[in-house]
Amino acid sequence: MSLVTFLHHLQQSNLFNSIDDYPRAKSEAIEAIKVLNALAKDPPYVNQPYLKPLSEFALTNYDRVQQKQPVSEKLIWLSSKIGIDFYFPLIEFGEKITSASDIFTTNPSSTKDGTDASTMTVPSGLEVKFKSISTSHWQDDKSHMLNLYQDLLTNCSFVSSYIALTNVNFSTYSLIAPHNTSSEYQITLTFNGCKRTVKVDDKLPYIVNSNRNLTLKSFTDSQLYWPALIEKAYLKIMGHGYCFEGSNMANDTYLLSGWIPEVIRLPNSKSIDALSHLWEMRVRNKVTLGIGTERFSNQFSSSINLIGEHDYVIDDFDGHCITLKNPWVTDDLSKRLVKVYNLTHFKYLYVNWQPKPGVEMYQENFIYTVKDGIFDQTQFTMECRKETTWLLLEKHIPVEEHHWMRINVYKSACRVVSPFDHEEHSVFETNNRLQLIKLPSGTYTLVIWSNKQGRYSLMSYGSNFHRSNYQYPHIQSLDSEWTNDTCGGNWTLASYINNPQFDIVVTKSTTLKLALFAKGLVNFDIFFADKLKIGQRIRSYNKTKCLTEDKYSQDYQSKSLHLDPGLYKIVVSNFDGSPAPFKLLSNTTESIAIQKIPSTMSLYTLKQTFLWNQQNRLKLYFKTSVYNTSIIAQIRHTDDEHAAYSRQTDYRPALRASLFSAVTKQPVQINDQFRDDCLYGLFVEERLQDPGEYILLIERFEIGKGRCDVVLGSDHKLTLL
């Protein structure tokens, strides 16, 4: 029983709380208190000053882990697991005691069997053994730290970060505990939304029969091993052991120090003048500076004394010449410092900013799931009252291959439902897992996109922010699709009325914002439906009843309008009439009802196609078997017999249709007038009182060619004869 055991129960209690397992969280919290009570009676621990803050924290923790915590806080604990290992958040107990303090490290005299499996991966072709270093050489001598270098391991970004932080007097010595011989060490690194502790053993790789190294070393102090233990912790969380797969200096400096990272893509002009202000900050130890080269061949590399796709520390700048320090050292130390007079061969500038003291940081942790529509994306709104507000978006480790993320910043005080509704202030797109965002004073909504799901943290330095709210209090979302039968296309097609339709029932005057998302050119029309019933589809495009503009836009459509009490119809279309899913979002000041209208005319439908063949009269025979059968017939002409549907510009004959009893030949419904506006079809409705056989007589004004499509619908079964 030890303080290590106490800490374990404390961490487990918070982990169980994060998955809402409150009984086990309580049990672990009690075990932590029991361990501490037992230790308080043990002579080595009696009267130790740290017992009081630990006890106070344990009691507070007991109450806290039995209560539901915000999702953001739970995610900090859930993000502890990477692979099979856990890297718990750093716990601050007060009085300068943290979960990384020496009191929570393994007894130095104890031994640990085996080696961290996650760091045993080594490059192929090398015979490597891991040996305990058992070092008592614990010095924080800046001169030796500045002489750290990489050898066979291609982690130039990490070694450059280490040197750059040493340049600005950042103590990496404080990241590791204990500062003596031990079988296990705790290293504090910043990742996945907070400072976390990483445990590593005391074994480092040695290449058999070679004087080369897989660890960083100091060429002025060969016994300086503890930086290699920090490097080992870094490699452990990166997930590939000593087969390093790349990073960049801004990311690694943030991981070591928590200093705010900024990756600046160098413009084509690549003038060094912009470095003047940054170098002034560097002289005052407020920033670290590094630079990354472009990709180029080994032959060209030798000619310019630069390595392609390599990170360098900016070691000095006199206004005209930049002195770079190469983290990779060969036998010739004279080549370590490189002087350059322009940035021609460089791609990125890496800047890490020391957080300003006294500036409050606000943070939200969230889970991102990949979705298409802008209104489904994670969004945050903030009011920046300062001259400039900084935000940092972090994708939690592990990061999948080919990951990218984008942040669209809109000048909006509410949730963005369409990219065309608000002015876009800026866009940040990167394949890096960290992105710095700088915003001037104003009100903004950030829309976060990614191609990979995962956990993220958004941190703001100095200005608070919150999850974005919709403009109005009432929200309704409907997922639907255009199928082969309902992809009617735009209003100039006869199939337009086949598109999905929705009823809007308004009981109180309301402001409506309606947004549509789908791939392609999309639009929706809203019609005042005072003459129609709920559930009844519109049968024409009536411009006098249409309240919206007929304008298609790419992937998104949104419109705002005021609706008085009444019934309205929505027709949702894409321009070319192709099958696709879509989403419709309603945001209103008052509660309204939106319901999808069935896509078929009736419960039962039959279809029949005729060719006119220079005739002007067609007959469709059908039979009913139930009294009081309601029928509806849609008759549509297509001049091109091979076309799916007619267009507005196509020729259409005037049509009329009537109903007769097939047995008595008596008329059931007579229509004398021809209708010449039948793009969407001629409709005939009737209630047939008696079961029997009937004739639907279809006539055109003059003989001609083309195709006649008839859809016959009813609330009861019909039979074509």
Instruction: Give the catalytic positions in this structure.
Output: 156, 310, 326
Backbone angle region of 470, left / alpha / beta, with phi > 0 → left and psi within -120 to 50 → alpha: beta
* DSSP conformational letter for 418: -
Backbone angles phi, psi at 76, to 5 degrees: -60, -40
Alpha-carbon distances of 501 from 435, 504, 526, rounded to whole Å? 43, 10, 10
**DSSP one-letter code for 119:** G
- For 446, the token pair is 């950030």
Please give the distance of CA 678 from its chain centroid, rounded to a whole number. Answer: 48
As a whole number of angstroms, the distance between CA 697 and CA 615 comes to 13
Contacting residues for 615 by C-beta, under 8 A, at least 6 apart: 703
Q: Rounded distance, CA 440 to CA 480, Å?
A: 40
Fill in the amino acid letter for 8.
H
CA–CA separation, 535 vs 162, rounded Å?
69
In sequence order, the 6+-apart residues with CB closer than 8 A to the CB of 371 are 377
CB 202 within 8 A of CB 185: yes
116 within 8 A of 184, measured Cβ to Cβ: no
Closest alpha carbon to 568 in 611, 505, 628: 505
What is the 8-class DSSP label of residue 334?
Answer: G
Phi, psi at residue 31, to the nearest 5°? -60, -40
Distance between CA atoms of residues 480 and 401, nearest Å:
33
| Beta strands 405-410 and 434-450, pairing class | antiparallel
Closest by Cα among 301, 254, 299, 257 to 169: 257
Alpha-carbon distance of 74 to 90, in angstroms, equals: 14
- Tracing tokens 């796709």 back to the chain, one arrives at 309
For residue 712, CA distances in Å to 488, 608, 626, 667 come to: 19, 8, 16, 18
List CB contacts of 566: < 8 A, sequence separation 6 or more. Answer: 506, 528, 529, 530
Q: What is the dihedral of CA 194, 195, 199, 200, to 10 degrees?
A: 110
The conformation of residue 647, written as its DSSP 8-state character, comes to: B
Please identify which residue in the block is written with the tokens 């942790």. 365
> Strand pairing of 85-86 and 81-82?
antiparallel
CA distances from 493 to 129, 501, 543, 641, 681 (A): 75, 16, 15, 15, 11
